[in-house]
Amino acid sequence: MIPSTPITAQTGVADGVLIVNKEAGWTSHDVVAKVRGLLGGVKVGHAGTLDPAATGVLPLLIGRATRIAEYLVGWDKEYRAVLRLGETTDTQDATGTVLQRVEASGVGPEVLRNTVARFVGPQKQMPPMYSAVKVAGRPLYKSARAGQTVERAERDIVIHALEALAVDGRDITLRVVCSKGTYIRTLCADMGETLGVGGHLLSLERRRVGALSIDEALTVEQIATQLAIGTLGNRLWSLDRVLEQLPLCTVTEQEASRVLHGAPIAPSGWSGVTEPSTVRLKDGQGRLLAIGTYDPQAKGPIKIQKVLVDVESLN
């Protein structure tokens, strides 16, 4: 059970991460703007954009949690996707124009299984033209809308798990667990091409981002309701809980003072990691103060990257 954090119009919202179940038709920016309005202008950001047509987990960063976005975007992600075989579109998903239709009834179970297996593991993926990836400072989607195709470099991605959950005619429901930077619509288009019939992403639901699961997610309407009755605080993840996978270093009172001013520290006797790592720094009372980096091979101090509290708040 997540500890309750009171949220009221008078006191504002506590710092933390809220798991939103984004509905189709909303942009990620729409969700941020709506929740910011509900919370009376509190600082709100998000970690990991979802396309408007996609649904599912969108982590919202509230207050000081906006400072930890870079540590969340690298998490692996899990999706439920539907691949429609036999139709190729210009956007690689159902929002685009169909470029080609091919009869897909000849794709049998064994061929499908073999193709699914081929796409598991480290690989290269070409970012789609309809994406926010920038080439020479210009988003690719702007070039695509102008009818231009831009030369772009492949990216390294990892498909950790890929399985076909169901087959309904030409529609294949897939479970995908992947690294950051993976385009599921490109995966679907590539699978369709490998199968020789083409394909596109028909629908997409993000089920998980790191430890943040759709089972704990709220729609924007549910957020508004829980805010009104004063229970939204129960659904916030604290910064410490969100970052609990990072190694922990507990500092002394004197070291804490240096940490809060961004100064590097060399905790005596601490050997919490054996390789270069990002670490959490907490004081003796268990309060999360900052995030730093430490390289045991260099035998240097812990360098402070992000201070997460104000000095005044600890007095």
Q: What's the CATH fold of domain 77-209?
A: Pseudouridine synthase (3.30.2350)
CATH class label, 246-314: mainly beta
Q: Is the model more confident about 111 or about 266?
A: 111
pLDDT at residue 13, rounded to an integer = 54
pLDDT at residue 146, rounded to an integer = 72
DSSP state at residue 93: B
Residue ranges in the chain assigned as alpha helix (H): 28-38, 69-72, 109-118, 140-145, 184-194, 220-229, 239-242, 253-260
- The CATH-assigned architecture of domain 16-74+211-241 is 2-Layer Sandwich (3.30)
Domain boundaries in the chain?
16-74+211-241, 77-209, 246-314
Q: With bands split at pLDDT 50, 70 and 90, how would you rate the model's confidence at 90?
A: very high
pLDDT(239) > 70: yes
The pTM of this model reads 0.88
pLDDT(67) > 60: yes
What are the φ/ψ torsions at residue 214 (nearest 5 degrees)?
Answer: -65, -20
Helices 28-38 and 220-229 cross at an angle (nearest 10°) of 10
**Look-up of token digits 């506590």:** 14
- 16-74+211-241 and 77-209 share one CATH topology? yes
pLDDT at residue 117, rounded to an integer = 96
Least reliable range by pLDDT among 15-29, 87-101, 104-118, 271-285: 271-285
Share of the chain above pLDDT 70, in %: 90
Average pLDDT, the chain: 89
By the 10 Å C-beta count (0-12 exposed, 13-18 middle, 19+ buried), 28 is classed as buried
The β-bridge relationship of strands 121-125 and 155-168 is: antiparallel
What are the φ/ψ torsions at residue 225 (nearest 5 degrees)?
Answer: -65, -45
Mean pLDDT of 254-264: 93
Q: Which residues does the annotation mark as catalytic? A: 51
Nearest of 206, 212, 213, 172 to residue 55 by alpha carbon: 206
Mean pLDDT of 40-47: 91
